[in-house]
């Protein structure tokens, strides 16, 4: 996978709002969790943009995202909890795109996707 071209505005926002004062993977994870917890508006509808071996979702499948997974489950990757086939299911945020969500939620998820695709952290994939 090729890294996307640097996005200076996104880089600045991530540096100043998400991982500011984070000195390692655990602190970065806490920064991301706090940022997403403060920014995402739940519930929102999302669509699977990438199948993953650890998730039952297929590309294109829609789910309702209810909330972030507990912080302890997000130390290495950010997970959200979704309603899927009548039950709650943890899914990696990296495989989802917001379909029906407010602008801040869409931007925060795009920030996470950017971070993952740039390979900046051991938090994800």
- 123: in domain: no
What are phi and psi for residue 122, nearest 5 degrees?
-80, 5
Sheet-wide strand order for 96-100: 87-92, 79-84, 62-68, 44-48, 96-100
What pLDDT is attached to residue 125? 41
pTM, full prediction: 0.90
| 17 part of a folded domain | yes
Q: Is residue 95 part of a domain?
A: yes
Q: How far apart are CA 23 and CA 25, in angstroms?
A: 7
List the domain range (segments joined by +) for residue 83: 8-118
Distance between CA atoms of residues 58 and 55, nearest Å: 8
- What confidence tens digit (pLDDT) does each residue in 64-87 have? 999 999 999 998 899 999 988 889
Q: Is residue 83 part of a domain?
A: yes
pLDDT of residue 52: 93
Total domains present in the chain: 1
Q: Which residues of the chain have pLDDT under 70?
A: 1-2, 121-125
CA quadruple 78, 39, 104, 115: dihedral sign: negative
Q: Which CATH number does the domain housing residue 87 bear?
A: 2.30.30.530
Distance, in Å, from the CA atom of 100 to the CA atom of 5, rounded to the nearest integer, reads 26
């Amino acid at each position: 996978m090729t890294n996307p071209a640097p996005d200076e505005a996104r880089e600045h926002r991530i540096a100043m709002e998400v991982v500011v004062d984070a000195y390692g993977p655990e602190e970065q994870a806490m920064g991301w969790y706090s940022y997403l917890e403060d920014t995402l508006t739940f519930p929102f509808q999302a669509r699977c943009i990438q199948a993953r071996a650890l998730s039952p979702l297929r590309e294109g499948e829609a789910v309702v995202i209810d909330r972030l997974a507990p912080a302890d489950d997000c130390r290495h990757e950010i997970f959200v909890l979704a309603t899927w086939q009548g039950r709650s299911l943890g899914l990696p945020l990296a495989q989802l795109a917001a379909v029906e969500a407010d602008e801040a939620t869409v931007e925060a998820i795009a920030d996470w996707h950017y971070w993952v695709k740039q390979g900046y952290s051991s938090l994800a994939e």
